[in-house]
């Protein structure tokens, strides 16, 4: 006969918490970007457990699923309790236009930029 210890939950399935590094690897971004996503409300705030911040996988993947399906956030996911009208009424600071040379360099842009540099130096 299998006896269950009284302090052990009976319907508990083991799980692996999602760390910031795991989230970064999953979303193919750096850890700093995960911090930015949390600050912007794109990801829920992780829970501090000991010295680490982590999410329960059900919380993390449910939030990510809703976001990617375009279903929006649930009331529990909202970081600020400010009404939507007040949030929408805030002015957005002006952003200086980016110059062509200051654009972020992606894989395609990088090869194009290297070709331009090589052409200048060979001329």
pTM above 0.75, yes or no: no
- Helix ranges (H only) for the chain are 20-27, 31-40, 57-68, 84-89, 107-122
Q: What is the DSSP letter of 29?
A: S
pLDDT in tens, 82-116: 344 444 444 555 655 555 554 454 556 666 777 77
Environment class of residue 38 by beta-carbon count within 10 Å: exposed (0-12), middle (13-18) or buried (19+)?
A: middle
Which domains, ranges and CATH numbers included, belong to the chain?
Answer: 13-80 (1.10.1660)
Cα distances (angstroms) measured from residue 113 to each of 17, 66, 97, 99, 103: 41, 38, 20, 15, 11
């Amino acid at each position: 006969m299998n006896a269950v210890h009284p302090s052990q939950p009976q319907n508990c399935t083991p799980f692996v918490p999602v760390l910031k590094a795991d989230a970064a690897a999953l979303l193919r971004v750096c850890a700093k970007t995960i911090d930015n996503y949390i600050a912007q409300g794109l990801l829920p705030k992780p829970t501090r457990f000991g010295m680490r911040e982590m999410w329960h996988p059900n919380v993390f993947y449910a939030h990510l699923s809703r976001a990617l399906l375009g279903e929006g956030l649930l009331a529990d996911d909202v970081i600020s309790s400010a009404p939507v009208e007040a949030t929408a009424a805030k002015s957005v600071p002006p952003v200086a236009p980016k110059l062509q040379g200051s654009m972020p360099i992606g894989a395609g842009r990088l090869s194009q930029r290297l070709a331009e540099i090589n052409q200048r130096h060979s001329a």
